[in-house]
Amino acid sequence: MPRPHLYLLVALLAAFGISWFSDRIDPYYLDVLIGIGINIILAVSLNLVNGYTGQFSLGHAGFMSVGAYGAAAVSLFLGPKMLGEDGGTALQQGLMFLGALTAGGLAASLAGLAVGIPSLRLKGDYLALVTLGFGEIIRVIFQNVEFLGGALGLNGIPAYTSIFWVLAFVALAVFTVTCLVHSTYGRGFLATKDDEVASEAVGLNTTRYKIVAFVIGAFFAGAAGGLYGHFKMTITPTGFDFTKSIEIVVMVILGGMGNTIGVILAAILLTLLPEVLRPIAEYRMIIYSLLLIVLMIMRPQGLFNFKFGKTTTL
Amino acid sequence: MSEFLQQLLNGLSLGAIYALIALGYTMVYGVLRFINFAHSDVFMVGAFIGYYMGKLVPENTVWGGLIVLVVAMLGCSVIGMVIERLAYRPLRGAATLNVLITAIGVSLLLEYSGQVFFGATPRTFPAVFPSVNFTLGGLVISSNQVVVIVVTALLMVGLQVIVYRTKIGTAMRAVSLNPKAAQLVGVNNDVVISFTFGLGSALAAAGGILYALNYPSIDPLMGVMPGLKAFVAAVLGGIGNIPGAALGGLLLGTVETFVNGSQWSTYKDAIAFAILIIILLFRPAGLLGKATIEKV
């Protein structure tokens, strides 16, 4: 068995093992752990788009919301029919949840495809704005669809999210992104980032690479949204606004664009930071934004990017 | 018909404000080629300076209103120049993404410092200008709308004079055409860029005061939506193009007001972004912009 697959298997087993002991973990720490896991999935998937492929997307929260609504709709509207009156066994619920998350992820990747095909012709600032605009449009649409709760959002989503599911999806996201980028095919993502014109000159279809990155990134954002919805049990359109997108972007930048380990560390740090800084909560965002500015001036390659010598950044 | 004219008038006065903010985006983009995300928050700071100044001058007087306007514009132009000096100048020549991220950082810094120093709860903006309603053949015109349109028109004329009739304006155009060549013929790029930020921020402050006069509830996050829409207006007119920004602002304000008055009013906020996406896909250079061939 190739080594990454082995790691995935080990990670899944570890997730299962940890979930076995989850009863004994303090519920507060468990909640924080789940929050960290969801943020890791979001950051790692955005890293594929922003870091490895070099396309600046500011709409990750939009894809997350599509996934959250998709998954919640499946378990709210289809769930009772599939599981029957008694709510089904644990295994049935698990399969149901897996289906819901997949549906959410697929819905998000469809949205990613729909946004990606027209807008990936644009570069830099403009792409950032179109993805931002898309995120806002998604929010306004969700606010206006009565079927999905309108501005009040969806309530009473079953609490299926457990530490097992979160860790399993973290493992899956890291596995997919790492294997994809290190494959022969995946070198194209890095080439697209490094020099688009040169990549096209050697015959790479850069637009296709961008769209693939966008769709895969959106899938995991959607799955993370599904996990989030079934964790908080309630979702509102305003929960997935511009600020959420920025938060994910900051994780990717802090970790060093195109550096999965760094991004994971940054996601952990930035999820723990608000918990630690709770006593000075009102200054949290000021520290956050100052960090961003100082980082860009002093260490544009990211806080956790320890590549010495030759740098791969532009 | 009179309802149509009324909506048109409301739309134009909203559009005039968008145009004022859009000018700042477009000028900075013209000289530095980046989107100054913090511009919308300078707009917010302008409104807050107006709020505090408004308490010091007598209410409902034209000269009191003008003092508030001028002080806010001066204050914001200083803030704009400080932001440029501290956050953007160290990044001159850095990758686009780094500058974009810094701009987002500055924007968040202003918003959240605003929440700490001004408080997050919305405040009522004082009536600094006298408020009267005129009726003109079925049309209701508020004096604030008149103030908005007159002030905007004057500022735009002033801007045209600065950009086309003064030495610094010529330098601005030179830097925007080719920064290196401008430097070679003796233009001090740093001074020009600093001046551009000051000018753009002063216009944003004027926009902030005028916006607050018409929608008198101000809070530290008030700039986000008008800022984004003004940016759309700048792109719509052709970014880097000053008359384009004015045209884009007026068009966007009008379209938005009409949508707001129709049965799709809840989609009001989505309209600007839909326009942005359509424009970028079909005419990325904007309405008045010239399409340029990208050099490799």
pLDDT digits (tens, 9 = 90+) for A144-167: 888 888 888 888 888 888 888 999
* Cβ <8 Å between A292 and B100: no
Asked if A114 has any chain B CB less than 8 Å from its own CB, the reply is no
Residue whose pair of structure tokens reads 């295994």 in the numeric block: A91
Which of chain A's residues have a Cβ under 8 Å away from the Cβ of B102?
A: 292-293, 296-297
For chain B, which residues lie within 8 Å of any Cβ of chain A, measuring from their own Cβ? 34-35, 87, 90-91, 94-102, 104-109, 111-113, 115-116, 224, 228, 231-232, 235, 266-267, 269-270, 272-274, 276-277, 280-281, 284, 296
For residue A201, the tally of other CB atoms under 10 A from its CB is 10
Q: Supply the pLDDT for residue A67.
A: 95
Q: Supply the pLDDT for residue B270.
A: 83
- Start-to-end Cα distance in chain B: 53
CA–CA min distance B84, chain A (Å): 12
Q: Residue B67: exposed, middle, or buried by beta-carbon count in 10 A (0-12, 13-18, 19+)?
A: middle
* Cβ <8 Å between A300 and B296: no
Q: Residue B106: exposed, middle, or buried by beta-carbon count in 10 A (0-12, 13-18, 19+)?
A: buried
- Residue B136's DSSP bridge partners are B139
pLDDT class for B296, splitting at 50, 70, 90? Answer: very low
Cα–Cα distance measured from residue B222 to residue A187, given in angstroms and rounded to the nearest whole number = 44
pLDDT class for B272, splitting at 50, 70, 90? Answer: confident
Cα–Cα distance measured from residue A96 to residue B109, given in angstroms and rounded to the nearest whole number = 43
Cα–Cα distance measured from residue B132 to residue B141, given in angstroms and rounded to the nearest whole number = 9
pLDDT class for B139, splitting at 50, 70, 90? Answer: confident
B123: left (phi over 0), alpha (psi -120 to 50) or beta: beta
| Cβ pair B109, B249 in contact under 8 A | no
Which residues of chain A, if any, have pLDDT below 70? 1, 85-87, 305-314
Residue A191 lies in a domain: yes
Residue whose pair of structure tokens reads 């897996």 in the numeric block: A98
Identify which has the larger pLDDT, A264 or B130.
A264
Identify which has the larger pLDDT, B269 or B249.
B249
DSSP SS3 for A306: coil
* Cβ <8 Å between B105 and A293: yes
Which of chain B's residues have a Cβ under 8 Å away from the Cβ of A313?
A: 95
| Cβ pair B276, A115 in contact under 8 A | no
Q: Supply the pLDDT for residue A163.
A: 87
Query: For chain B, what's the residue count?
Result: 296
Residue A137 lies in a domain: yes
Structure-block tokens of residue A125 = 């600032």
Asked if A134 has any chain B CB less than 8 Å from its own CB, the reply is yes
Cα–Cα distance measured from residue B170 to residue B164, given in angstroms and rounded to the nearest whole number = 6
pLDDT class for B291, splitting at 50, 70, 90? Answer: low
Nearest CA in chain A to B265: A144
Nearest CA in chain A to B273: A133
Give the largest Cα separation in chain B, rounded.
Answer: 59
DSSP SS3 for B135: strand
* Cβ <8 Å between B34 and A125: yes
Q: CA geometry: angle at A222 spanning A217 and A225, to 5°?
A: 130
Asked if A194 has any chain B CB less than 8 Å from its own CB, the reply is no
Which of chain A's residues have a Cβ under 8 Å away from the Cβ of B93?
A: none
How many domains is chain A partitioned into structurally? 1
**Which ipTM score applies to this complex?**
0.80
Q: What residue segments make up the domains of chain B, in order of their start?
A: 2-151+190-282
Q: Supply the pLDDT for residue B18.
A: 94
Q: Supply the pLDDT for residue A85.
A: 66
Residues 5-64 of A with CB under 8 A from B: 56
Q: Which helix (H) or strand (E) holds A77?
A: none
Class of domain B2-151+190-282: mainly alpha
Q: Supply the pLDDT for residue B292.
A: 62
Cα–Cα distance measured from residue B207 to residue B76, given in angstroms and rounded to the nearest whole number = 11
CA–CA min distance A291, chain B (Å): 8
Mean pLDDT to the nearest integer, B93-114: 87
Asked if A117 has any chain B CB less than 8 Å from its own CB, the reply is no
Helical spans, DSSP H, in B119-188: 143-165, 167-177, 179-184
CA–CA min distance A294, chain B (Å): 8
Q: What is the pLDDT of residues B46-62, one digit of tens each?
A: 999 999 998 888 878 88
Mean pLDDT to the nearest integer, B177-198: 93
Mean pLDDT to the nearest integer, B78-97: 89
Tell me how far CA of residue A226 lies from CA of A98, A159, B261, in angstroms.
10, 11, 36
Query: Model pTM?
Result: 0.85
CA–CA min distance A24, chain B (Å): 39
Which of chain B's residues have a Cβ under 8 Å away from the Cβ of A289?
A: 105-109, 112
| Cβ pair B96, A123 in contact under 8 A | no
Give CA B114 to chain center in angstroms: 19
